[in-house]
Structure 1
Amino acid sequence: MWSRRIVLGAGVVMLALLVMRDAAPPRPARSEPVAVGPAAPRPPIVSRKVWRADEGLVRERATYTGPVSAAFLHHTGHLNTYDCADAPRMLRAMQKDHIESEGWDDIGYNFVVDRCGTIYEGRAGGVGRPVRGAHTKGFNTDSIGIAALGSFGPGTTVPPALEAGIVKVAAWKLGPEADPRGTVRLVSTNDESKYKEGEAAVLHVISGHRDSFRTNCPGDVLYERLPVIRESVARLRKP
């Protein structure tokens, strides 16, 4: 006959087998999120400290938005005959005008590119961070403003070096998911653009200022270069 101890032991083994059979399989360990880097290398950028931005004029600390999904191209309206060595002085004057005349917190553009192809840090907050600018009314969120130093209306030409600078900084700053040849859906945040507040607009990922606002900016000649710029940005980014 089975002893009482053997019978109890067998019962414990059977119960353990039933529990193991009905238990859910172990979940695989979750992998850590992988940081996604920029789709193009960072180009050389002249810092605010180097061009001697007046930090005492800045009214508010930088505001940050989501990943950069669009870039708006501008021109600054300066004469194209400037010496590139004068660009820092021109930026300081532009910063003062944007703050004192326009009433903005700082210079409006995130980046400025001169005719020699030099890229300058515009609005404060860190070139590697998604700083909210004051460049495109209604669409400053999740976008950057890149300004070409000069005027590019009829009868002008776009210096190849300036265009190359625009391409480099746009390729670096656009989020990895942005398609430079494609479009993006953005929602207007006020009624001062071509779109009413709350209205969705489908715009090029790389647009001209005039695409969202009633203006001639960035000038007819530079605007006509946008298809070429989009292709150049796409080629520079990782597939």
Structure 2
Amino acid sequence: MAMRGFLTPSLGASSLVASSLGVACVAALALPLAPPAHAAPDVSAVPGSTRSLPLVPLTRDRVLGSAPQQGLFRADIDRFSLVGVAWDDPDAELRGRVQVRTRSAATGTWSGWQDVETHNTDHGADPGTAERTSRGVRGATAPLWVNDSDGVDVRVRAEPAATPRGSRAGARPAVLPSGLRLELVDPGDEAPPEGAPVDAPRTGLHSEAAIAASATNTDVTGFGATEIPELSREATEQELARLHEEAQAKPYIGARPKIVTRRGWGADESLRGGGFVYTKRVKAAFVHHTASGNKYSCSQAPSVIRGIYRYHVTSMGWRDLGYNFLVDKCGTLYEGRAGGVAKAVLGAHTLGFNTDSMGVAVIGSYGSTKPAGAAVTALARLTAWKLGLYGADPRGRTSLTSGGGNLYPKGTSVRLNVVSGHRDGYATDCPGTSLYAKLGTVRSSAARYQGR
């Protein structure tokens, strides 16, 4: 993986937290932690797996029309709960339709055909960065959660590229990206119980990586915690004053919400790239949906996150989970990319605008499905707190410099809402029309939580 070094934040006058948090993180990593009881984790106990199966041209009896089509049918395979399709070139688009049906491991019945979201290039590290240019990075569809399954049938059909308006040229031929593969992800067992060793073999955690990830949150919770507890507004202000010398006398900050840590949702820290990468500050929050479907229960949310994490790292070649935070339909908040929930961790969520921003994804698909009120409230509480750490007004606007994308060329200074949807920085449907319509509520509620 690229970008494995531990990078401390750059300092700036407008950064409220970079200096003290960066020092806290380094100090935490330098502590003489007790060695684990077992030196070598039991690799056979690592939960979860990813299988990558090459797609093949479909037989004539399964072909619809004359466009290029590939697919795969497999029954009686090892269980999986999340699927997607990946290909070799991360800059290549899959212009076409991807459909999948799966067989339930519980009932043995096959589902109907489900569409997989193909427009997923809008997520990821910024162009030209070490993470984006890593040789292991691949293109991929969005992941789809299908619950516990043991059979799969997938078909991919190419469609002609649209002809630019005013062009005399005909439509470009329908082609599929090279190296199409079906990705089957088993997220593994549930997260470790409170009090279990940080590098317990059942979670597949290498002690060094697990210790480093937990240490980045010791400024806000105990080492090895499975959740960061919520605080009152007064306690949050006191914490801000304790952590940051430049904190306002009367800060605008929302009460810190409860956040399930990576250890809490069962992240296998041996999967991700080593070290942590930071930016100067958090000036904006981009809201996303995972486009992974809504057929999950809230108790399954940690499994869904473990599946997306494996998909981002193992199938797509990213250094870690792309989002900084996630929220489920019941309003539970989860730590995403490692590095510390209170720090300005560089994510891979909004292509072109990852620097000085954070990305939070609501688990599910919200094109036509309305997001749950609990999820909208959680977005408001999270942004009120995290943006408050950096002095940002959720109702305001800010300037970000584009790292390159299909809306704004690299180097362009862009004025955006402090709380924006993914589509504000990149031409995409994300975070879905129904969720995007709720961002006004998120902004006003977050400002109210901040006491503005």
* TM-score for both structures, normalised by structure 2: 0.44
Deviation at 1:103, TM superposition (A): 2.0
1:204 maps to 2:417: yes
| CA-CA distance at 1:35 after TM superposition | 3.5
1:42 aligns with 2:256: yes
In 1: Cα distance, 2:361 partner to 2:447 partner: 19
Work out whether 1:53 is the aligned partner of 2:267: yes
Higher helix share: 1
Counterpart AA for 1:145: G
Deviation sequence 1:187-230 (CA, Å, 0-9, x none): 012x2342111111111110000111121000000001111111
Q: Deviations over 1:64-122 (max 9, x none)?
A: 11221100000001222311111111111100111123221100000000000000000
Structure 1 residues 54 and 179, CA gap change in structure 2 (3 angstroms)? same
In structure 2, the residue corresponding to 1:185 is in which secondary structure?
strand
Gaps of 5+ in 1: 1-32
Q: How does 1:36-115 map to 2 (within 5 A)?
A: 36=248, 39-115=253-329
Structure 2 CA distance, aligned partners of 1:120 and 1:140? 19
CA contact (8 A) 1:38 1:173 kept: no
* Distance across 2 between alignment mates of 1:39 and 1:64: 22
Q: Report SS of the residue matched to 2:415.
A: strand
Alpha-carbon contact 2:254-2:446 (below 8 Å) kept: no
Q: Distance in 2 between matches of 1:212 and 1:193?
A: 9
1:29 corresponds to: none
- 2:376 alignment partner AA: E
SS of the residue 1:174 aligns to: helix
1:161-190 C-alpha deviation (Å, 9 max, x unpaired) = 11111111111111443121111110012x
d(CA) in 2 for partners of 1:62 and 1:92? 19
- Aligned pair 1:195/2:390, yes or no? no
Cα separation, 1, equivalents of 2:276 and 2:382: 20
TM-score, normalised by the number of residues in structure 1: 0.82
Partner Cα distance (2:377, 2:288) in 1: 15
Q: Helix, strand or coil for the counterpart of 2:307?
A: helix
**Partners of 1:70 and 1:59 in 2: CA distance:** 25
Number of positions where the alignment pairs a residue of Structure 1 with one of Structure 2? 206
More displaced stretch, 95-104 vs 199-208: 95-104
Residue 38 of structure 1 and its aligned partner are, at CA, apart by 6.9
Answer yes or no: is the 8 Å Cα contact 1:137–1:193 preserved in 2. no
Counterparts of 2:350 and 2:290, CA distance in 1? 13
**Equivalent in the alignment of 2:377:** 164
In the alignment, the residues of structure 2 paired with residue 109 and residue 64 of structure 1 have an alpha-carbon distance, to the nearest angstrom, of 14
Letter in 2 for 1:124: A
Tell me which residue corresponds to 1:185: 399
Q: 1:118 aligns with which of 323, 332, 345?
A: 332
> After the TM superposition, which parts of structure 1 deviate over 6 Å for at least 4 consecutive aligned residues?
none
- Please state whether the residue corresponding to 2:317 is helix, strand or coil: coil
2:355 to 132, 138, 141: 141
Q: Which has the larger radius of gyration?
A: 1
- Partner letter of residue 117 of structure 1? G
Contact between 2:282 and 2:358, CA under 8 Å: does it hold in 1?
Answer: yes
